């Protein structure tokens, strides 16, 4: 059984913003490779869930797609305000 991957609206926005950025700043090819890499990563997490953090739900719920160098804690706190 293949578990579902759900992308919340803000995650979809993050992905689309990055897709457009890569397309404008680099190339359409890079944008497409980025989308493919995201899909492959989600598929890997579904197939091998223990490589991610442990949670009590089935499937993957993608909340945001954020570069690791960003201040993630402050980003989420700002959104809660």
- The predicted pLDDT at position 1 comes to 58
The CATH-assigned architecture of domain 5-80 is: 2-Layer Sandwich (3.30)
Q: How confident is the model at residue 61, as a pLDDT?
A: 85
Structure tokens at 33: 């490779």
- Residue 56: pLDDT over 70: no
pLDDT in tens, 20-30: 999 999 999 99
Q: Where do the H-state alpha helices sit in the chain?
A: 9-25, 28-47, 72-80
Give the Cβ contact number of residue 48 at 10 Å.
Answer: 9
Q: Looking at the DSSP assignment, which residues form a beta bridge with residue 6? A: 61
What pLDDT sits at residue 25? 93
Tokens for 49? 């869930």
Task: Answer yes or no: are the C-beta atoms of 81 and 28 closer than 8 Å.
Answer: no
Q: What is the pTM of this model?
A: 0.74
């Amino acid at each position: 059984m293949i578990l579902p991957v759900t992308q919340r609206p803000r995650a979809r926005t993050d992905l689309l913003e990055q897709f457009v950025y890569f397309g404008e700043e680099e190339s359409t090819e890079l944008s497409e490779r980025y989308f493919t890499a995201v899909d492959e990563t989600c598929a890997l997490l579904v197939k091998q869930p223990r490589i991610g953090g442990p949670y009590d739900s089935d499937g993957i719920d993608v909340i945001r797609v954020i570069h690791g160098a960003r201040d993630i804690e402050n980003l989420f706190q700002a959104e809660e305000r």
